[in-house]
Chains A and B, each alone.
Chain A
């Protein structure tokens, strides 16, 4: 804004200093994306890889199926159900992580300084262990002969093990566990800045506890809610390890389906097209979500 030449020079130096990171980001983010985009318009090779011939078959196959014998077209139900399951599980995970994470973050943020540090430290402990190991631990807890079923059988609450492993529930449970800290930490940061005098002010001005939550707390900590939801929803939508281990082979999510195309499926163009679809879905979800979240801020009167 100002025409101060010294400030302009400082701004230029700032750009120059961040140039390596910007370059890395530009190449690292757009490079693979460009490769995926190009691959999705090529033909699959016999042993993986691609044939350099233009083809729209992969994009065609994303939502449609051509019968091998008579060539009739039908919707690719399997693909659509995988998309639907991914979206459903990612949304449920985000929602549940918020429902569980909000009271947790509130509790931590309202402790004294010492307890707060200790509790935040506890929240980060799961990150010390590999994701794979943690997911296998969940597997051990919920499988038919696992801790949970053994315990329930032992106390006599059930007489047959409840089948939890390799269901959508298992995937949902695993993802909620894995991504919960990503919800708690931004929520904590937002609640920590929240001025508790606002609660008294709201209470003084005839608001019930529910109204204070709805009209004071939620709108003020909204940036934390948005950040936490995004941090949970995006990795949940593209999750690979958790649905692989807890969902078995049957309850695939987009991530597993894409991997399948690059692996046993030997259909790289389809995998590439699916990757681009995932990217578009995430971007669309983000745009809708942030619009909706910030648009709700309008005055009521």
Chain B
């Protein structure tokens, strides 16, 4: 089992400060990161994802718990003794060294032969397509180029795990999209385990093999992007990744009763109460609006907003609960929804998820 996992955190807890001023940054996180996967730690700022990254890098040691690399306990090894490298948010390139010397820094510190350093640097420059910039100083490069140097520098010593601390946050949107593709390509080409930290859910969904969602020092859910999106483990995950409509009702087996109103078919997540009051979630794009009678849940249109490809409509159920519906805009651009209009809502079975918390 242990040879399948690149990184393992066992009940890692990190508390900053002491006494009344103590802050729990990480509240007992256990996590397995598999070899060769692109793993993303996703969460809002202050959720502890960067702290977890620092524990893996060795810049901090946990107050309690263990960190294992390839099955070996590295909890108290200093960063320079760990075969783990980091791409920093600010890049932290050495301003006095050329691009080539920056990339070769780790290898030189390891005391590798000059020949090997030169060969690896040349290979890395080619990998990030910066051959022409080898003799420039970091100050003469654009943000995207600096980013690629930082990547090459961290990849050059062939670490077992590459840690990336929100590396794309300083780039503009266009460049960020390009670098997302580039990062994914590098990960596939090198086969190195990537642990990527971000607060951008779209970035996490498009790049990752698996995602760990964190909040308030806890790991809430780990899974592949589809599982995280379609089967959120709780209300926080459902609202942080994509948008969700939340409905409260009473569960009875596979059905959910909304007040005195309609009974809906719902899929329950693990840990959801078998009966009684519950919260359920449904994605805006999973709801369909049917005009002119027929099957479905009765609702009234509150407003509709045109977004180009999409049209967002807000409708109110009979009990007053507002639901956002996202639909593709028709060719005419006008979805034909007027405020006050009576419509019916339908959705596929399995779209409505009962969450594991009591309403």
Contact = CB atoms under 8 A, between A and B. Distances in A.
Interface of A: 195, 197-198, 200-208, 211, 215-216, 219-220, 222, 297, 299-301
Contacts, number: 77
A65 B203 CA distance: 83
Interface stretch (B3-11, B15-23, B67-75, B93-101): B93-101
B273 interface: no
29 contacts: A197-B88, A197-B90, A198-B92, A200-B59, A200-B79, A200-B88, A201-B92, A201-B94, A202-B94, A203-B78, A203-B79, A204-B79, A204-B80, A205-B105, A205-B109, A205-B154, A206-B106, A207-B80, A207-B109, A208-B80, A208-B109, A215-B105, A219-B96, A220-B96, A222-B96, A299-B97, A299-B101, A301-B101, A301-B121
Contacts of A197: 88, 90, 92
A205 B96 contact: no
Interface stretch (B110-118, B262-270, B290-298, B330-338): B110-118
Most buried by A among B80, B101, B104, B117: B80
Interface string B217-256: 0000000000000000000000000000000000000000
Contacts of B154: 204-205
Interface residues of B, number: 33
A301 B80 contact: no
B199 interface: no
Contacts of B208: none
B157 interface: yes
B57 interface: yes
B111 to A, nearest CB: 9
Contacts of A222: 96
A232 B250 CA distance: 81
A98 B79 CA distance: 29
Contacts of B108: 300-301
A195 B88 CA distance: 12
Contacts of A297: 96
Contacts of B117: 301
A208 B110 CA distance: 10
A211 B104 CA distance: 14
Closest 10 CB pairs of A and B: A205-B106, A197-B92, A201-B92, A206-B109, A207-B109, A219-B96, A203-B79, A206-B80, A206-B110, A204-B79
B344 to A, nearest CB: 57
B85 interface: yes
Contacts of A216: 94
B215 interface: no
Contacts of A219: 96-97
A220 B95 CA distance: 7
B100 A195 contact: no
B153 interface: yes
Contacts of A202: 94, 105, 109
B40 interface: no
B300 interface: no
Most buried by B among A216, A222, A301: A301
B104 A301 contact: yes
Contact of A201 (B84, B88, B101): B88
Interface in B274-298: none
A165 B78 CA distance: 49
Nearest to A220: B96
Contacts of A211: 109
B86 interface: yes
Contacts of B114: 301
A216 B96 CA distance: 8
A204 B85 contact: yes
Nearest to A209: B80
B150 to A, nearest CB: 9
Given A206-B80, A207-B109, A301-B117, A200 B94 contact: no
A207 B106 CA distance: 7
Interface in B155-192: 157
Contacts of A220: 94-96
